[in-house]
């Protein structure tokens, strides 16, 4: 006879089984976590991919990488202009690729839609936008006033502002020759003679100070092309650099024919050595302020430290911007016994040279006779 189970006691195996339910819950938790991780990773990957892919195509824009700006700051400028999508990611891309240290400052024309590597290559190569420029030529023998007039007429610089800058007692960056100018109240214009005559190309809207500094550094560059012994030659002449530039400016304003420059330089040194007044008409023209076709006796009496008819020795400074050939002549004058010269007046723009005053007077008569004959020799 089958026994009935005791009241309150279950029949069969009395241990409680885990069953399939708990396993399914564990599996669900694991899958959920894996799903969340996959979603985060996928979202991150999508964020990185989207942030690093080229921006939507657009019109070219100009972006400036300023001096001292870090590559990271430049990345922010790129994002602001729409060239890249995400500056934050671009920064880390630069770090990952070890890029940035060779970026060159300047303004770049970049197009939204460029790849990040194309942007990096362009900035590494320094392919900057060339600024709009102006081109002008300073003729040999021009004064500071004439240079200011020329730049004003061409709309490149205000005359008053240029002259004010040229007369300022200040440093001019790395320009070296200009440091030889003495501090003297007698100077008509402080930078007279130091603004080298040349053809220049400068960014449009350059400040007068920028124009001046460029001309001053050009003088340095031209001096570097002189023979290595030029400073020794200067010392042998027993004059300083400023005096040499003054003599070069006198040669520039007095001589047109290149072969005569060293001869006239020699005459200047001969007269200085003998204590004779230079009596150079160009210094009187400078003292008068305006060039005159012909000087009269009263002009030779103008009260000015630049008037070499009244003042012995050199004027306080240059009277114009000398060419390199005049500078060379001042450094390497011809050795002659000449003390005088006069224009031939035959159209050749050459001179007649003399050793004595009597010979000089004869040359003057000869020159006047040539002029009367219509310039024919």
**Per-residue pLDDT tens over the stretch 136-177:** 999 999 999 999 999 999 999 999 999 999 999 999 999 999
Of 223, 238, 273, the domain-final residue: 223
**Per-residue pLDDT tens over the stretch 214-225:** 999 999 999 999
Phi and psi torsions of 288, nearest 5°: -75, -25
CATH number of the domain residue 102 falls in: 3.30.1490.480
* Residues facing 354 on adjacent strands: 340
**Per-residue pLDDT tens over the stretch 238-288:** 999 999 999 999 999 999 999 999 999 999 999 999 999 999 999 999 999
Average pLDDT over every residue of 19-41: 67
Q: Which pLDDT does position 377 carry in this prediction? A: 44
Q: Which pLDDT does position 293 carry in this prediction? A: 81
pLDDT averaged over the chain?
Answer: 87
Q: How many CA atoms lie within 13 A of 235 on its CB side?
A: 4
Percent of the chain with pLDDT over 90: 58
Q: b/e for 246-274, b at 16 or more Cβ within 10 A?
A: bbbbbbbbbbeeeebbbbbbbbbbbbbee
Number of domains in the chain: 4
Q: Which pLDDT does position 313 carry in this prediction? A: 95
Structural domain span for residue 77? 61-125
| Tokens 């310039």, located at residue | 375
Same domain as 354, residue 288: no
Q: Which pLDDT does position 90 carry in this prediction? A: 82
Same domain as 300, residue 271: yes
Average pLDDT over every residue of 5-13: 51
Same domain as 357, residue 294: no
178, 57, 177, 190: which is closest to 114 by C-alpha?
57
223, 218, 219, 214: which is closest to 162 by C-alpha?
214
Same domain as 268, residue 234: yes
| 23 vs 370: which has the higher pLDDT | 370
**Per-residue pLDDT tens over the stretch 44-79:** 555 555 556 787 788 998 889 888 888 888 888 888
Of 223, 247, 272, the domain-final residue: 223
Q: Is residue 291 part of a domain?
A: yes
State the Cα–Cα distance between residues 76 and 65, nearest whole angstrom: 11
Residue 19 in this model has a pLDDT that exceeds 70: no
Same domain as 237, residue 206: no
Angle at 156 between CA 150 and CA 157, to 5 degrees: 80
Average pLDDT over every residue of 21-41: 68
Residue 294 in this model has a pLDDT that exceeds 60: yes
Same domain as 218, residue 176: yes
Q: Is residue 51 part of a domain?
A: no
Same domain as 167, residue 91: no
Same domain as 235, residue 257: yes
81 exposure class (CB count in 10 Å sphere: 0-12, 13-18, 19+): middle
Same domain as 347, residue 321: no
Same domain as 289, residue 235: yes
149, 146, 355, 141: which is closest to 267 by C-alpha?
355
Classify residue 356 by its DSSP letter.
S
Of 106, 125, 144, the domain-final residue: 125
Same domain as 274, residue 184: no
Instruction: Kindly report the number of other CB atoms within 10 A of residue 321's CB atom.
Output: 29
320, 318, 359: which is closest to 341 by C-alpha?
359
**Tokens standing for 243?**
């005096």
State the Cα–Cα distance between residues 230 and 248, nearest whole angstrom: 14
Q: Is residue 27 part of a domain?
A: no
Same domain as 174, residue 159: yes
Q: Which pLDDT does position 201 carry in this prediction? A: 94
Q: Is residue 40 part of a domain?
A: no
Q: Is residue 280 part of a domain?
A: yes
Q: Is residue 116 part of a domain?
A: yes
Q: Which pLDDT does position 114 carry in this prediction? A: 87
Q: At what angle do helices 324-331 and 241-254 cross, to 10 degrees?
A: 120
Angle at 78 between CA 77 and CA 81, to 5 degrees: 85
Q: Is residue 373 part of a domain?
A: yes
Q: Which pLDDT does position 1 carry in this prediction? A: 46
Residue 332 in this model has a pLDDT that exceeds 70: yes
Q: Is residue 199 part of a domain?
A: yes
Residue 317 in this model has a pLDDT that exceeds 70: yes
């Amino acid at each position: 006879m089958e026994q009935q189970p005791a009241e309150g006691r279950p029949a069969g195996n009395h241990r409680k089984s885990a069953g399939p339910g708990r396993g399914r819950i564990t599996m669900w938790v694991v899958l959920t976590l894996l799903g969340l991780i996959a979603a985060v990773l996928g979202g991150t990957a999508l964020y990185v991919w989207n942030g690093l892919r080229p921006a939507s195509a657009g019109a070219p824009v100009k972006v400036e990488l300023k001096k001292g700006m870090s590559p990271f700051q430049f990345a922010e400028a790129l994002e602001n202009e729409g060239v890249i999508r995400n500056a934050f990611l671009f920064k880390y891309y630069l770090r990952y690729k070890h890029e940035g240290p060779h970026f060159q400052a300047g303004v770049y024309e970049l197009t939204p839609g460029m790849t990040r590597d194309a942007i990096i290559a362009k900035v590494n190569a320094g392919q900057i936008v060339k600024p709009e420029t102006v081109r002008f030529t300073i003729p040999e023998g021009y004064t500071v006033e004439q240079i200011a007039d020329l730049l004003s007429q061409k709309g490149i610089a205000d005359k008053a502002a240029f002259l004010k800058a040229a007369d300022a007692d200040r440093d001019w960056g790395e320009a070296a020759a200009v440091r030889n100018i003495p501090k003297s109240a007698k100077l008509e214009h402080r930078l007279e003679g130091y603004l080298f005559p040349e053809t220049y190309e400068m960014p449009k809207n350059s400040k007068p100070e920028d124009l001046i500094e460029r001309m001053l550094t050009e003088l340095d560059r031209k001096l570097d092309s002189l023979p290595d012994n030029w400073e020794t030659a200067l010392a042998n002449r027993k004059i300083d650099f400023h005096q040499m530039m003054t003599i070069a400016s006198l040669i520039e304003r007095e001589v047109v024919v290149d072969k005569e420059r060293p001869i006239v330089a020699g005459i200047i040194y001969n007269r200085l050595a003998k204590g004779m007044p230079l009596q150079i008409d160009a210094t009187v023209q400078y003292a008068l302020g305006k060039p005159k076709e012909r000087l009269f006796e009263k002009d030779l009496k103008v009260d000015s430290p630049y008037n070499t008819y009244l003042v012995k020795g050199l004027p306080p400074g240059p009277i114009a911007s000398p060419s390199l050939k005049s500078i060379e002549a001042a450094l390497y004058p011809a050795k002659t016994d000449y003390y005088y010269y006069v224009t031939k007046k035959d159209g050749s723009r050459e001179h007649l040279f003399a050793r004595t005053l009597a010979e000089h007077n004869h040359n003057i008569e000869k020159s006047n006779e040539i002029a009367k004959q219509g310039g024919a020799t």
